[in-house]
């Protein structure tokens, strides 16, 4: 995970994360009473626990040799519900993490901003492209080129930093994002 090279992992995925017992005991009360805007919250518990760990001054770390298994959605409906929960969690926990960011590496701040603004900018680009096509009957080539360029640049940076070419394949996720996830999040 490229983020671990910058001193923290911002979301330790639930089924793959391990914590020191002393750290969990220190934060258990805050973790069990997770509220958002005055209401109990039962999604994004892994991201929430990670933020609590970082707020307490503890470190989060990626261990590339670890082996974990989990259950993943194998149908579209459960996958979309999972993605919606994750989006809510990302937006909510960004508010909780804002005070942490100045004390962390600037790359992590940029990553958190990108996780929140990226979908918004992608949605605006898609809407602008659709508007151009609807109003002028011309293909919005600049918009398509910009989305493709940003996707390739982002995936290439991760592939180069981690020295793993497999991250280039993540660029295919852009189609899933545009066709399924953006409409869902809207």
Q: How many CB atoms lie within 10 A of CB 88?
A: 15
Would you state the pLDDT for residue 3?
Answer: 52
SS3 39: strand
Q: How many CB atoms lie within 10 A of CB 52?
A: 20
State the Cα–Cα distance between residues 51 and 43, nearest whole angstrom.
14
Among candidate residues 19, 20, 13, 9, the one with its CA nearest the CA of residue 70: 13
Among candidate residues 134, 153, 147, the one with its CA nearest the CA of residue 177: 147
List per-residue pLDDT tens for the chain, 186 residues long: 555 566 677 778 876 788 889 988 998 888 877 777 777 777 778 888 888 888 888 888 888 788 888 888 999 999 999 888 888 888 888 887 888 888 877 877 887 888 788 888 888 999 999 999 999 999 999 989 988 998 899 889 888 888 889 989 988 888 888 888 888 887
Would you state the pLDDT for residue 128?
Answer: 92
Would you state the pLDDT for residue 117?
Answer: 85
Against a cut of 0.85, is the pTM above it?
Answer: no
144 backbone φψ class: left, alpha, beta (φ>0; ψ -120 to 50): alpha
Q: Is 155:174 a contact under the CB 8 Å cutoff?
A: no
Would you state the pLDDT for residue 76?
Answer: 93
Contacts of 11 (CB under 8 A, 6+ apart): 46, 47, 50, 93
């Amino acid at each position: 995970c490229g983020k671990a090279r910058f001193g923290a992992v911002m979301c330790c995925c639930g089924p793959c994360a391990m914590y020191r017992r002393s750290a969990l005991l220190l934060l258990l009360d805050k973790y069990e009473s997770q509220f958002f805007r005055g209401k109990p919250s039962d999604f994004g518990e892994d991201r929430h626990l990670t933020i609590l760990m970082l707020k307490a001054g503890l470190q989060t770390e990626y261990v590339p040799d670890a082996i974990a298994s989990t259950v993943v959605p194998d149908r579209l409906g459960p996958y979309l519900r999972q993605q919606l929960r994750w989006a809510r969690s990302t937006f909510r926990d960004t508010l909780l993490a804002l005070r942490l960011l100045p004390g962390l590496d600037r790359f992590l701040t940029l990553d958190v901003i990108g996780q929140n603004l990226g979908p918004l900018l992608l949605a605006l680009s898609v809407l602008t492209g659709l508007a151009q096509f609807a109003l002028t009957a011309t293909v919005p080539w600049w918009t398509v080129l910009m989305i493709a360029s940003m996707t390739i640049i982002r995936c290439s940076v991760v592939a180069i930093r981690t020295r793993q070419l497999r991250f280039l394949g993540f660029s295919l996720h852009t189609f899933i994002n545009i066709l399924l996830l953006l409409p869902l999040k809207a």
